Structures are given as structure tokens and as C-alpha cells.
Structure 1
Amino acid sequence: MPFASRWLRTETAVPRQVFINGCFTRRAFMRLCRVITSCVLLLAPLGVAVAQVAPSAGPVDASTRQAVVASLGKQMQANYVFPDVAGKVAAALDAKVAGHAYEHDATSDTFAKALTHDLQSVGMDRHLRIMYDPTFKPDENDDTALTPKQIDEQRTMASQYAYGIAKVERLPGNVGYLDIRGFLPADFVATGYAAAMNLVAGSDALIIDLRKNGGGDPSSVATLLSYFFAEGDSRHLNDLYWRKGDRTQQFWTAAVSGPRYTRPVYVLTSALTFSGGEECAYDFQTQKRATLVGTSTGGGANPGDVFALGHGFVAFIPVGRAVNPVTHTNWEHVGVKPDIAVPAADAMKTAYVAILKKQIVTTKDPDQLDRLKATLARVEKGVEEKPNYDPPK
């Protein structure tokens, strides 16, 4: 079984890819633990409290900065998915060090930020990132299978984080709503996705909110997309090309448990939609299965891994790139463009109003028509629907 790439993005930590050879490996498990523990963007909206202790910033002298940049250049040239760009980046950073560009970046924090800025500016890749993490240790025994206890721990983690699903809701007008904040490992999300899709199965249209989705497992993206095509309608969704081994990994829709969803779908996006979240939006768009509403996404299409640079610094370096089978390109640096461009804060209202207006045109039931018009008026005015019971005091 081929390796599966898994990547997540956070605002406070280096995004860390998880590789899994076969079903489970020790490397994958440890990466998953570190990613989930640090993933504020993913966990906070789900109501999960996670204690985090950021490494203390320390002084960085000129010799350390020179050694870190030299190590970064070697790691880039050995691993970055674009070898020609890697050479260009390494040369540019060497020139900056020689020109004393980082002499005022005297702490680990400021140096990491300055190096990240230059790395992304020269490499034109938003996944490239430097972080000070003296606790990081390269994984050993990459292909060691997990113990049953570790597998249970993975399964428990996935369920505690609600499989990345922050909210499932039925809105007035019989509109379904799914708020998905991240794509957790595919080995564990199937039951969560099936439950969510069962709850929205009877809706007349569905809104999928990816505005706070920082990424995750592309296999989970494929699992979710599989619900939106008829059984037997196999779709080639995405490819990942890996520099190591010069190989390409394909992602297709597959059999899923639970009902397929064949009604209209709207996908909400923002600048925070990143990596695997972007792939989800891009797959829906290129397969002409949904209408995207919001702003252009973050622009990160190159999954990677974490490499030690020495002196407590680590680098997230993309080792692969997405290749869409329809467009033969991806969303790197440019983001996924919405079909209906509105500020991200207005995306929900815009999609909801569009759905209600279409329902009003097509409904033939007078009572339903009145209810839809009343709902539309409330939504357009931003007024919440009153509950049909006395709420607790």
C-alpha cells in the first residue's frame, strides 16, 4: 500500500505532515500527536482545551545563524519538491547571511520569523516555514507498526476532536450545514462522516463551511467527496507527486457507508482555508459539484515534512506537490478562486440567500412558499428565527 500524505496548518506551529506506510506506523502516530496537540486553529472551535507551552526564545549569535542557514540550504536541496528552486533559495539565503541581513535578529523567535519571510518570498511557497523547537527530534523506526494501545489512542483522539467536524445543523428552509475545521486521518473519520451525512441527507441543499479549515489528510478529503457522487460514478479527484522516488499518488472517490448526497452544494472559503481544506474546495470546483462562495484561499498546495536544522531550529519543507487531473495544475500561491466572490464574513449569508431564492422559484406548495419567504426575509435582515418553544431561563 502506498504512503499517504497528511498535513495540517496552524497559526502557531510548523505544519507537520504525517506519513503512513500501510495502515499504521510509529512515525505517523507520533506526528499525529504533535500536530493535534499544537493545532489551535483546529481544536479551539471544537471546544477542546489544550495546554501549550511555547519554547522560550533565546539569543542567537552570528555563527548560529550562519550554521542554521547552511543546514537549511542542504535540507532544501536534498528534499524540496522543486530542486531548481531549492538551489535558488539556498544561494539567496547564503547571500543574505554574507550581507549581514540577519544581524539584528538576535533571538530565536525573530530569526525564525525573518528566515521564514525570506524563505517564502524567494521560494514562493507558503508551506515553507522555520520554527524554533528545541524539543524536536527526528523520528526513528519510521516503519515500526503501532501497538494496539497506540491504535486505540489514535482512535480516541479522532473521536475527541469530533473527526474535525465542528458543527452539523439543519437550518430553516431545510438547508443542511457542515462546518469542517480539519481533515483528520482517514483511518478514523469514516464513522464521523457517515453520521454527519446521515443527518443532512434529507436537506434540499447543503452548505459546507471550510472558512476555518487548515488542512489534513487528502485521503479524508477523498472520503468526504465520495458522498457527493452517485454510487459507481468514480471520480479522479487529485494527485500528489513526490520527489522521493519520482512517483505520483492518486486519490479517487470510493465506496462509503451512508446515503449519497445529490442535491445542490455550496462551499464557503476564506484566506484561512489552507492546504487540504483548499484541496477539498478545489476538488468540488473542478468536478463541477459545488458553488464556491467567499474569498480566495490561502494558497498552499505542497505537502511536506519537518527537518531538523540544528541549534533548536526546524524547517517544514514541501516534498511533494498537488496535481489536479482536470486542470493539471494546483492552487499554490494563488489560492482557490470562489465562484461567487464576497468577503468571507458574508459568505454564509450569501450562500443561504441564494439557496432560499432558488427554492422559492421552484416550490409549488403555498404553505412552504410562505415559510421560505419569511425565512428569506429574516436571513436578509440578519434576524435569528425564534424558537417554537420556551427556551430555558
Structure 2
Amino acid sequence: MKTLLLCFLICFAGLLQSFQALSQTALPKPVITPAVTRKLIDTISQTLERYYIFPDKAVQMGQHLQQQRKKGIYRTIKDAHQLAGQLTRDMESIYADGHLYMSYDPDLSKAILEVNPDKRRREDSLALLSARESNFGLNRVEILDGNIGYLPVYSFTRFVSLAKPSFSSALRFLSHTQALILDLRYNGGGSPEMVGQLGSYFFSVSTPFTSIYNRRIDSSSVYWADPARAEGVTLSMPVYILTSSSTFSAGEDFAYSMQQSKRATVVGDTTGGGAHPAGPFVLGDGFILHLPFAQSINPYSKTNWEGTGVIPDMAASAEEALQMAHKLILQQFIQQATDDKQKRKLLWAVHALDATSNTHTIDQQALAHYTGDYNGLIVYLQEEKLYCKNTGRGNQITQLQEIKKDWFVLNEQVHVEFIKEDGKNFSLLKLHWRDGREIPVYKSK
């Protein structure tokens, strides 16, 4: 949605001419007189009542500012920044909206009002170049253990038609996976149109995602997930969406829309909570009122995530979200599996995940019980660490990394399990292969 806001800002320039009661150019700091303050407050009140998404609050704020002026609250303020700060605090006393505030910024005021087609074209060209360099928010596609697709999406570009081939190709590559993880933990927003485009790959029928009501033009735009735009890629596997507190705006829109339509499970941290597109309104003489002029409305919940964020179905820190989602999917697949070899493959993947997060250390005395010659696999201790020397492979040496009690990682393909057949001493080493094979190796007498 941030990209959408940029487009709105440009469009504002023409409409805001009527609010430039003081000046249209960047001038030295204005002399703050009672007359200047009164005219500024009048302009704030008009802007609030015309554009703010909460009309009743707009009226109350305008009335409160006028009352404060009549009480003389602003009479001694001579600095433009201080005046902007006081006006912000007085509006917040009526309704605390983190998107609504006053600022004094003559340079920004001038930039917003400047009509320069050449500059617009240069900015658009640079934006497109940046989008291409980032591959429109995609830089990685992967299939995780268990045949689980993984796709991080870092932004929702406004160049939807140009981005579509990249998204279609990535999702087509993942179309034969059994589940899909979409990572939005670092997605800061973008275009609601691209949100609908990505959603189009996950529904067999047109499905409403988000309606955005724009009070500036008193109109609503509905964004759909439409399979007709998915270039023949329709994905029906379970979908898991990773979120963090950095997930914002359009990133939240996608996560919330998929969650509310029961098409995805959200795993991670509560998102940032930005559902109201906001922008700067030039009031004149360098003063700017930043306010929300539109709001997202979900067709299922009839509300949005403003202030609350998207609440995950499975809570986890941003750092742990991927592993939690991956393990959750694997455990569900294990419960559903009917083939023993497939179960072993899935268990291998679970153990591989456990190994990455295992911080437990085994004392040297306990490690010593594992040592011995297992038919050419020599397990030995060195500097309080357990190693395996494979005499059948040129004495290749590998450090064993603990997974859990009696289980260790040998390499990227094999885990080893030490077994006490008599319940007293380790006499068997079982090799668990990534592909589900199991090979027992007995300890030499």
C-alpha cells in the first residue's frame, strides 16, 4: 500500500490547491501571529472534515482546536515546529490516531505541490529500475524437506503486469509441493492490486480480498483474488504465512485476507497494524497535516487490522516462525502417512530441524558410552567432542552433532541412532537416511 500512497500523494496536489491559504512556495519560517494561527486552524478543521476517515472525530477535533485557540493556548507559541507539535497533541487528546499528526516542512510542501512531468517520469523510471533489480520482491524459491514449498515475498510491487511472470514461474515451480510457506516477515507493504494478484493463485473461483474506502473521493475499490489472472496456476495445497512486527500495510492485507477467507494459517508474530492509507495534506506556509483518508475493510470480518495487527493462528517469534511452521506441517504429514518409509523420511526432516535448535550438551562421560568400532565406522572422542571415522570412505572424519538422546547428525544425508539391544550397552548403530532407508550396523566384538 505504500506504493499506492505515493500515487495518492501525487494526485493530491491538484485537489489541495484550495487549502493553500497561506503560501504555495517554501518560504522562511512564518511569523506566528494570532491571525496566522486562526487561519491555520480553520484550514485544519476543513481538511479534517473533508478527508479524515472518521467524520465524527474530525468535527470534534476541529471544535477542540478552536476552543483551545480561544483559550489562548497557542498565543505565546512563536515557533512553527512547536505549534505543529501542540496542535498534534490537542488532536490526539480527542482521538489517539498514530497516523494523524501535524508537521512543519516547507521543503516537503513544495515537493508535493510541484508539477513537474519530467521529474515524475524520472521517478517512475527509477522506481521501475529498483523493482526490476529486486525481481519485484522475489529473490528465492525453495523446496524444503518433506516436499514443502518456501517462497519469501519482500514487497507487493505496483508494477503488477511486469511482476506477474516472476510470480507465476515461482508458484508453478512449487505447484507439486504438499504444502506452501509464504514468508512475509520482512514485507513492508506495496500495492493492493498485487495483493489480489498473489491471492489469485490460491482460489479456484473469484474471491473478494479487500475493499478500500477512500473518503477523498467517496468511493470504494474492491480487490479480488481472481484465478483468471493466475496464468493457469491454481494451488490447492495448505498454505502457511509467516509474519512479524515488521509485516505492514499490504503485507498485512494479504495475510489477513488469506486468514479470514480460511485459506491460510498465519504463523509468527503480530503484525504492525497499518490498515489505513494515510498521506500529507499541504495547508500552506510549510505546514502539513498527515492524516488517514482511506481504510481497508475485509469482506469476512467486516473490519480490519488497524492498531491490532494481524493476530497469528500460531504465535512464534520472527526468528522461530519458519522452523515452527515447517515442523508443524511435517508432524501433520506424519500423522496422515500410511507408508512406513514415508513416515521415516518425514521423521528425518523433523530431526534435522531439531538439530538446528538443539543447545543441549552431553558430558564427556556420557559420550564415551557411544565410542567403538561399528563395522568400519569408528566412533571416538576427541577434545570432548564425538567423531565418526568412515574407514570405507578413505577414513573420512565427521563430527557428530546431537539431535536428541542417542541420536546424532552424521552429515546432510544421514542421521545415526545408537541402540542398546540388551538394555545395558550400545551394540548397534542404525543409519537413518534422508530418503527413508534404515541400515543397521553392529558393533565389532
Q: TM-score, normalised by structure 1?
A: 0.72
Select the residue among 303, 307, 328 that pairs with 1:354: 328
Q: Name structure 2 gaps, 5 residues minimum.
A: 14-27, 359-408, 414-445
Select the residue among 268, 277, 286 that pairs with 1:294: 268
The yes-or-no answer on 1:162 pairing with 2:130 is: no
Q: Name structure 1 gaps, 5 residues minimum.
A: 1-5, 9-14, 21-26, 31-57, 389-393
Letter aligned with residue 211 of structure 1? R
The yes-or-no answer on 1:314 pairing with 2:307 is: no
Partner of 1:241: 213
Select the residue among 263, 269, 274 that pairs with 2:248: 274
Partner of 2:302: 328
Select the residue among 178, 184, 188 that pairs with 2:157: 184
Q: SS where residue 307 of structure 2 aligns?
A: coil
The yes-or-no answer on 1:76 pairing with 2:48 is: yes
8 Å CA contact retained: 2:30, 2:285: no
- Determine the C-alpha separation between the residues in 1 that align with 2:83 and 2:150: 42
8 Å CA contact retained: 2:141, 2:170: yes
- Determine the C-alpha separation between the residues in 1 that align with 2:30 and 2:149: 52
- Determine the C-alpha separation between the residues in 1 that align with 2:258 and 2:330: 21
- 1:42-121 pair list within 5 angstroms: 71-93=43-65, 108=81
- Determine the C-alpha separation between the residues in 2 that align with 1:369 and 1:318: 52
CA gap 1:293/1:95 in 2 versus in 1, 3 angstroms: farther
The RMSD of aligned alpha carbons is 3.9
Higher strand residue share:
2
- Determine the C-alpha separation between the residues in 2 that align with 1:216 and 1:268: 17
- Determine the C-alpha separation between the residues in 1 that align with 2:87 and 2:181: 39
Partner of 2:99: 127
Could you give the per-residue CA deviations for residues 12-70 of structure 1, whole angstroms, max 9, x where no partner exists?
xxx944249xxxxxx47x9xxxxxxxxxxxxxxxxxxxxxxxxxxx9998669887666
C-alpha displacement of 1:266: 0.7
How many pairs does the alignment contain? 339
CA gap 1:211/1:65 in 2 versus in 1, 3 angstroms: farther
CA gap 1:94/1:17 in 2 versus in 1, 3 angstroms: farther
Partner of 1:253: 225
Partner of 2:176: 202
CA gap 1:62/1:181 in 2 versus in 1, 3 angstroms: farther
Could you give the per-residue CA deviations for residues 273-327 of structure 1, whole angstroms, max 9, x where no partner exists?
2221111111101111001122332222111332224454534322111122222
- Determine the C-alpha separation between the residues in 2 that align with 1:113 and 1:346: 40
- Determine the C-alpha separation between the residues in 1 that align with 2:133 and 2:186: 19
Q: SS where residue 320 of structure 2 aligns?
A: helix
Partner of 2:197: 223
- Determine the C-alpha separation between the residues in 1 that align with 2:249 and 2:269: 15
Partner of 2:147: 174
8 Å CA contact retained: 1:102, 1:111: no
C-alpha displacement of 1:227: 0.6
- Determine the C-alpha separation between the residues in 2 that align with 1:242 and 1:360: 48
Could you give the per-residue CA deviations for residues 219-274 of structure 1, whole angstroms, max 9, x where no partner exists?
110000011112xx111111111213422211112222252221011112223222
Partner of 1:7: 2
8 Å CA contact retained: 1:16, 1:316: no
The yes-or-no answer on 1:18 pairing with 2:13 is: no
8 Å CA contact retained: 1:181, 1:210: yes
- Determine the C-alpha separation between the residues in 1 that align with 2:329 and 2:216: 45
Letter aligned with residue 97 of structure 2? D
Q: Which moved more, 1:59-68 or 1:269-278?
A: 59-68
Could you give the per-residue CA deviations for residues 132-175 of structure 1, whole angstroms, max 9, x where no partner exists?
54432224669x89998876554333212321235433222222
- Determine the C-alpha separation between the residues in 2 that align with 1:202 and 1:106: 63
Structure of larger gyration radius: 2
Partner of 1:369: 343
Q: Which moved more, 1:373-382 or 1:363-372?
A: 363-372
Q: SS where residue 81 of structure 1 aligns?
A: coil
Letter aligned with residue 145 of structure 2? P
- Determine the C-alpha separation between the residues in 1 that align with 2:77 and 2:314: 44
Q: SS where residue 112 of structure 2 aligns?
A: coil
C-alpha displacement of 1:368: 3.5
Q: SS where residue 310 of structure 2 aligns?
A: coil
8 Å CA contact retained: 1:158, 1:188: no
Partner of 1:50: none
Could you give the per-residue CA deviations for residues 106-145 of structure 1, whole angstroms, max 9, x where no partner exists?
794x887776676567444343355554432224669x89
Could you give the per-residue CA deviations for residues 169-220 of structure 1, whole angstroms, max 9, x where no partner exists?
3222222222222211034321232232133222221111222222211111
Letter aligned with residue 79 of structure 1? Y
C-alpha displacement of 1:365: 4.2
CA gap 1:76/1:366 in 2 versus in 1, 3 angstroms: same
CA gap 1:149/1:66 in 2 versus in 1, 3 angstroms: closer
Question: Which protein, 1 or 2, shows the higher relative CO under an 8 Å CA cutoff with sep ≥ 6?
Answer: 1
Letter aligned with residue 319 of structure 1? F
- Determine the C-alpha separation between the residues in 2 that align with 1:202 and 1:115: 57
